[in-house]
């Protein structure tokens, strides 16, 4: 048996749960198609967000269905896909932020293009909770 340097998988899962505790209010805000966000984003302040109205309320929705797990050597976090009924929305992506911890942004993701709803249900389909795709992963 060999000894290898490692950050243990359980420690990754513990770190993810500490960064995004299940007891905190984690929210998803929709971003306008022309918004500019990337890994440098720090705090949610409404910049670039879809406008209030037409079935959408600025600040987004509180996420439900919190599920932290390991996918191989990667800790991943997943939630139920939030939706807005009876809405007319155009969005290019979304961000997840922690409303309990100073609105710190925990994840940013692109829809890969503009997604719209017209007097219907807009669903933000979150990436699969895998090491390669999860929007929040360590």
Q: What is the pLDDT of residues 6-21, one digit of tens each?
A: 999 999 999 999 999 9
By the 10 Å C-beta count (0-12 exposed, 13-18 middle, 19+ buried), 107 is classed as buried
> In degrees, to the nearest 5, what angle opens at C-alpha 119 toward C-alphas 114 and 120?
75
For residue 60, name the pLDDT band (cuts at 50, 70, 90): very high
d(CA 78, CA 107): 11
Distances (CA, A) of 128 to 22, 71, 135: 19, 11, 8
pLDDT above 90: percentage of residues in the chain: 99
Q: What is the pTM of this model?
A: 0.94
């Amino acid at each position: 048996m060999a000894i290898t340097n490692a950050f243990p998988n359980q420690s990754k899962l513990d770190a993810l749960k500490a960064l995004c505790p299940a007891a905190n209010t984690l929210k998803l805000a929709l971003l306008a198609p022309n918004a500019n966000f990337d890994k440098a984003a720090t705090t949610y302040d409404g910049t670039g967000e879809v406008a209030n109205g037409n079935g959408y309320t600025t600040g987004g929705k509180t996420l439900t269905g919190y599920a932290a797990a390991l996918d191989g050597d990667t800790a991943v976090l997943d939630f139920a896909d939030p939706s807005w009924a009876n809405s007319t929305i155009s969005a290019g992506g979304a961000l997840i932020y922690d409303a309990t911890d100073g609105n710190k942004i925990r994840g940013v993701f692109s829809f890969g293009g503009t997604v719209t709803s017209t007097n219907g249900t807009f669903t933000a389909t979150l990436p699969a909770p895998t090491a390669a795709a999860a929007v929040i992963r360590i």
